[in-house]
Amino acid sequence: MPNSVRIALDAMGGDHGPQVVAAGAALALRKRPDIRFLMFGDESAVRAAVAAHPGLAEACTVIHSAVSIRMDDQPSQALRKGRRTSSMWMAIDAVKRGEADAAVSAGNTGALMAMAKICLHTMKGIERPALAARWPTMRGQSVVLDLGASIGADAEHLVNLSVMGAAMARILLGVQRPSVGLLNVGVEEIKGIEEVKAAGRTLREADFPDLAYKGFVEGDDIGAGAVDVVVTEGFTGNIALKTAEGTAKQMGTYLKSAMSSGLMSRIGYLFARGAFAQLKEKMDPRRSNGAVFLGLEGIVVKSHGGADALGFSVAIDVGYEVVRQDLLAKIGELIAQSHDALAQAAAAADAAAQN
């Protein structure tokens, strides 16, 4: 099919393997009939999973891989046993060789990050990639990064995260000039570590045409949807993500217990079933599945390891959208702008010091 989007799938990744990958691919194909799949994994298992979904076989090519990466493998172990021969590596390598436009895996995050960085390399001007995902908020969705691709960040890296996150928000959220905030311990300019304050100064002074810097945001601003893009380094971002996931599960447990605590509660639930169904849909993590490794010379999407078919199809859809909207080119343009702004800021600082 002309102009089709080619998605490479690590069919052995995640908690459920080929069955969920094939089911997710079938759901994605119904929504996006111009997708074509390359599925990497144990050929007999993958073909059996594909055969369970009418029409899927015509849209996919199965490539055998004898090695799969376990969820508990250390990145170094995964590279030793699976470099060039695992389903994960082969899916990423298909992107590098131009045989696929994006790769999607529900496998081991650390291994996926290590393999993607080695195989694809980082874009010019990007020292380290970042993991970015959509985050459900009271206003809809925001993009949050970095969610754990790397630990620590200097001012330049935070500026790079800001422009990459803004490019992703334009594509996935449909916002022409996304608002960006730096996660901090307070909104006042005097608060926070020096790297965050320096990044804030650069973003404010640069006044990028493709993003609107709004200053510092705090943890409770993420769920409120105070900005379209929330930027932080990977250690803090991963803790924020896991805290939010745990809180959502906690609230769900509390609510279920309260609704079944007595006869009147159960009767009340019957009257409010529609409202609870809407709440469940808004809080459904499957509908925000699919984090993108930004800053690489290729598109790699990380699905949650425990995702079901719906969740995996959403991750495929993320890959489809960022390919169709040419995310890599947009990031390249914005990174060039950010480096010019950083150079101007450094020159201005030097001039002020000499005076």
Residue by residue, DSSP assigns 221-257 as: HHHHT-SSEEE--HHHHHHHHHHHHHHHHHHHHHHHH
Q: Is the pLDDT of residue 307 over 70?
A: yes
The answer to whether 98 touches 79, Cβ cutoff 8 Å, is no
For the chain, state the CA radius of gyration.
21
pLDDT at position 178 is 95
Neighbours of 294 (CB within 10 A): 29
Which fold does the domain 136-286+325-350 belong to in CATH?
Answer: Isopropylmalate Dehydrogenase (3.40.718)
CA distances from 340 to 125, 180, 196, 203 (A): 11, 19, 19, 12
Q: What are the b/e assignments for 224-259, b being 16+ CB within 10 Å?
A: ebbbbbbbbbbebbbebbeebeeeeeeeeeeeeeee
The answer to whether 233 touches 153, Cβ cutoff 8 Å, is yes
The amino acid present at 301, given as its one-letter code, is V
Residue 78 half-sphere exposure, CB side, CA atoms within 13 Å?
25
**pLDDT 10s digits, 20-35:** 999 999 999 999 999 9
- Give ∠ CA 157-240-193 in degrees, rounded to 5: 45
Task: Provide the token pair at 97.
Answer: 């060789």
The answer to whether 135 touches 172, Cβ cutoff 8 Å, is no
Average pLDDT of the residues of the chain: 88
pLDDT at position 334 is 79
Residue 175 CA to residue 49 CA, distance in Å, equals 38
**pLDDT 10s digits, 175-202:** 989 999 999 999 998 888 999 999 999 8
pLDDT at position 277 is 66
Average of per-residue pLDDT across 36-53:
96
pLDDT at position 250 is 82
Residue 52 CA to residue 237 CA, distance in Å, equals 39
**pLDDT 10s digits, 196-251:** 999 999 899 888 888 999 999 999 999 899 999 999 999 999 898 888 878 877 87
Neighbours of 39 (CB within 10 A): 28
Residue 323 CA to residue 339 CA, distance in Å, equals 24
Q: Is the pLDDT of residue 1 over 70?
A: no
**pLDDT 10s digits, 77-95:** 888 888 889 999 999 999 9
Residue 302 CA to residue 108 CA, distance in Å, equals 9
pLDDT at position 284 is 64
pTM of the predicted model as reported, rounded to 2 decimal places? 0.86
Q: What pairing do the DSSP bridges indicate for beta strands 179-183 and 140-145?
A: unpaired
The answer to whether 172 touches 145, Cβ cutoff 8 Å, is no
pLDDT at position 217 is 95
Q: Which residue has the higher pLDDT, 340 or 279?
A: 340
The residue ranges of every structural domain in the chain are 136-286+325-350
Residue 186: exposure state from Cβ atoms within 10 A (0-12, 13-18, ≥19) = exposed
For tokens 């810097």, name the residue: 213
Task: Provide the token pair at 208.
Answer: 């990028």
Q: Is the pLDDT of residue 354 over 80?
A: no
Q: Is the pLDDT of residue 125 over 90?
A: no
Residue 59 CA to residue 29 CA, distance in Å, equals 8
